[in-house]
Amino acid sequence: MHLWSEEERSGTLEILFSLPLKDIELAFGKFLATWSFLGFVLSFTFLIPATIFYLGDLDLGTTFVGYLGIFLLGGANLALGSFVSSLTKDQISSYLLGLIFCLFFFYWGINHFSNF
């Protein structure tokens, strides 16, 4: 959750903004970096379905859609966390506010789609 708040607190945000990049390019670059790291960490769990596929019967479609959903939900949470981090100067407040927002949208989505 320190994507932007730590940059502002340490004073390196001015250095980033002095680069010949647009603000949207900086934000998108930070988002893609964290999202690719999420994909990298998620790739370590591929061993679990591979073992289940080797030992028994595994529905590959359900597994693929599950991983895709986790990856996309993680991207949405990263985008929301990055937005909240840009509003605050402290890492702790950024984390807590991001957690509250993510939990709010998560529970709102569960209630919304459970009636679907």
* pLDDT score, position 16: 79
2-30 burial string, b = 16+ CB within 10 Å, else e? bbbbbbbeeeebeeeeeeeeeeeebbeeb
> How far apart are alpha carbons 35 and 79 in whole angstroms?
9
* pLDDT score, position 116: 61
> How far apart are alpha carbons 42 and 71 in whole angstroms?
8
Q: Checking phi first, is residue 105 left (phi over 0); if not, alpha (psi -120 to 50) or beta? A: alpha
> How far apart are alpha carbons 111 and 96 in whole angstroms?
22
* pLDDT score, position 70: 93
pLDDT in tens, the chain (116 residues): 667 777 777 777 778 788 888 888 888 988 999 999 999 999 999 999 999 999 988 899 999 999 999 999 999 999 998 888 888 888 888 889 989 988 888 888 777 776 66
0.85 surpassed by pTM: no
* pLDDT score, position 67: 95
> How far apart are alpha carbons 112 and 89 in whole angstroms?
33
